[in-house]
Amino acid sequence: MLTVYLLRHGETTWNADGNRYCGATDVELTPKGKAQAIEAGALLKGISFDAVYSSPLKRAFDTALIASGKKQSEIVAVPELKEASFGSWEGKTRTEFIAEDPKLWEAWERSPETTRAGGTGSTAIEIATSADSFFKAACQKHPGGTILVVAHNAVNRFYLAYKLGMPLRNYRRIVQENSAITRFTLDENYEIALNQLNHR
């Protein structure tokens, strides 16, 4: 059985600016975001991790660096954990891009597993199965182990919804605040047990 401590990255400059969608854009942490990562690190203190994994995007990698207390060389950047591409929605607030194309947002709300975010971005099933492939590999690499994983809002929520058997359109019912901790286990059949959600 693998134990996973899953974090969302700390607050970014775009999170702070009306919650603009970051997506695949490599946005920096704010000072508050760095402080949130420090707070997460305090909660994780004393836990022995077999490995620390992160999305390659700077906001996640820097959160992993701060929260884990590890050296940069000890954190493994994983492409499968990179945030969804939100296409034309990136850099905009939800209010802004819905006004531009309300039908596209309605399609995403109804069927994110088959609709491309922002018209040209990722689908929910692509995001969920990409993360799932990473976690299955981690189960094989760290049987009986404990790992820290730092990723993103959409990645974390779509993966959890997928593993819990929820319709992916309900992903926003799973809360993932900046640098909050979610803990779950995966057994030998990759079945999930959610132990803790969005803890500060």
Annotated catalytic residues are 9, 83
C-alpha to C-alpha distance for 67 and 86, rounded to whole angstroms? 27
| Element containing residue 150 per DSSP (H, E) | strand 146-151
C-alpha to C-alpha distance for 89 and 157, rounded to whole angstroms? 18
